[in-house]
Amino acid sequence: MPLVNTTEMFKKAYEGGYAIGAFNVNNMEIIQGITEAAKELNAPLILQVSAGARKYANQTYLRKLVEAALEETGLPIALHLDHGDSFELCKSCIDGGFSSVMIDGSHLSFEENIALTAKVVEYAHPRGITVEGELGRLAGIEDAVNVSAEDASYTNPAQVQEFVEKTNVDSLAIAIGTSHGAYKFKPGQKPQLRFDILEEVSKRLPGFPIVLHGASSVPQNFVKIINENGGKMPDAIGIPEDMLRQAARMAVCKINIDSDLRLAMTASIRQHFVEHPDHFDPRQYLAPGRAAIKELVKHKIVDVLGCDGKA
Ligand code: G3H
Ligand code: 13P
Ligand code: ZN
């Protein structure tokens, strides 16, 4: 099966009250861990590549690895550009074989965001590629850009209809209190998601797929393992998984997860080195790293996204 765009998967997810996991990929072991989990559970997948991932691994290597995963699994998989920040970057991914792109104009004025997003859509749609836009601004770190809590802003529901009508985007990322990275809330802080905004947005855009970025839950067992095995991660908590499940039952059709993959892999590799200080063959520590990713993704598919059996 060739790569798919997100149209069909979002339609089914919206109607079925579940979400598709959009997992960030940077190397072979991460791709294998995610896709082995999805294959076992017969789940559709979005594998997404950030500008940083392109720089690290090279877009062609990642695309070829995802093509190998398609061949191995037979699953519907979309290869998506995460946080594209220019028309040129989106064009390069479309020309390079991606099936979906995000144009993130959330840092621009409303009018500039519309103009840039519409330009990407005009290039993408005739080529069968779906486009995700963003309105509102998440806090946190993404591609070395650190958005402070003061500069973050919730999505204004009054703007969403005009944005979607004028751009013709296929899905919309909104800011309702999630944030990027592994340090979302301090311990003791109460994580809150603005379900009222999500509700209002979906009223104004009936049937339209909404995207949640910054949706890692920062599992405390991984932070503990990392810190017990020589790591120095500050205490922090993420988005409670029951809130994500609730969002997936509503209009949210795509949930982005990157930080939890990093924590799972790092915890497992740190533990491995403490238990096996003599190991120096990368396969000895990357195999448990890959297995940890697989376990985490199985948990997300079943308990958070609800997309098992939906491929
Ligand atoms: O939202 C950003 C993703 O977590 C990607 O992170 O830019 O460090 O690859 P990255
Ligand atoms: P997390 O940092 O919460 O995993 O968010 C990832 C993301 O939104 C990628 O676009
Ligand atoms: Zn993001």
Residue 66's alpha-carbon distances to 27, 71, 73, 261, 265, in angstroms, are 10, 9, 10, 17, 19
DSSP structure class, residue 153: B
The pLDDT of residue 264: 98
The span from the CA of 234 to the CA of 54, in Å, is: 28
In whole numbers, what is the pLDDT of the chain averaged over residues? 96
Among 140-144, 248-252, 276-280, the range scoring the smallest mean pLDDT is 140-144
pLDDT tens digits, one per residue of 42-81: 999 999 999 999 999 999 999 999 999 999 999 999 999 9
Q: Is ligand 2 within 6 A of the CB of residue 262?
A: no
Residue to mutate, 258, 262, 263, ligand 1, most ligand atoms under 8 Å from C-beta:
258
For residue 99, what pLDDT is reported?
98
The pLDDT value given to residue 148: 74
pLDDT for res 139: 77
Residue 187 has pLDDT above 90, yes or no: no
pLDDT beyond 80 at 152 = no
The answer, yes or no, to whether residue 147 has pLDDT greater than 70, is yes
Quote the CA–CA distance of 143 and 141 in Å, as a whole number.
7
Q: What percent of the chain has pLDDT over 90?
A: 91
Q: Is residue 144 pLDDT above 70, yes or no?
A: no
Mean pLDDT of 223-249: 96
How remote is the CA of residue 50 from the centroid of ligand 3, in Å? 9
Q: DSSP letter at 182?
A: S
For 217, the token pair is 């839950």
State residue 145's pLDDT score.
65
Question: Do 216 and 257 contact (CB within 8 A), yes or no?
Answer: yes
pLDDT band at 143 (very low <50, low <70, confident <90, very high): low
Cβ contacts of 265 within 8 Å, gap of 6 or more:
29, 30, 33, 289, 290, 292, 293
Q: Give which of 214, 213, 217 is closest to 263, Cα–Cα.
A: 217
Strand-strand pairing, 171-174 and 145-147: unpaired
Tell me the mean pLDDT in the region 140-168.
85
Amino acid (1-letter code) at residue 279: H
Q: Which residues, other chains included, contact 144 with Cβ-Cβ below 8 Å and sequence gap of 6+? A: 52
Banded model confidence at residue 188, pLDDT cuts 50, 70, 90: confident
Q: Are 196 and 231 in contact (CB under 8 A)?
A: no
Q: Among the listed ranges 104-108, 143-147, 223-227, 296-300, which one has the minimum average pLDDT value?
A: 143-147
Please say whether the beta carbons of 46 and 81 come within 8 A.
Answer: no
For residue 196, the number of C-alpha atoms closer than 13 Å in the C-beta half-sphere is 3
Instruction: Classify the C-alpha dihedral 226-175-142-184 as positive or negative.
Output: negative
CB 281 within 8 A of CB 239: no
Tell me the sheet residues that pair with 78. Answer: 46
Average pLDDT, integer, range 245-260:
98
Residue 140: pLDDT above 90? no
Testing ligand 1's pocket by substitution, the residue of 142, 239, 266 carrying the most ligand atoms inside 8 A of its CB is 142
104 Cβ closer than 6 Å to some ligand 1 atom: no
* Rounded Cα–Cα distance for residues 263 and 290 (Å): 12
Query: Each residue of 212-235: b (16+ CB within 10 Å) or e?
Result: bbbbbbbbeebbebbeebeeebee
277 C-alpha to center of ligand 1: Å? 30
Question: Binning pLDDT at 50, 70 and 90, where does residue 1 land?
Answer: confident
- Give the pLDDT band of residue 12 (cuts 50, 70, 90): very high
Is 213 assigned to a binding site? Answer: yes
Q: What is the pLDDT of residue 262?
A: 98
3-class secondary-structure state, position 299: helix
Q: Reply yes or no on whether the pLDDT at 150 is more than 70.
A: no
pLDDT at residue 224 in the model: 97
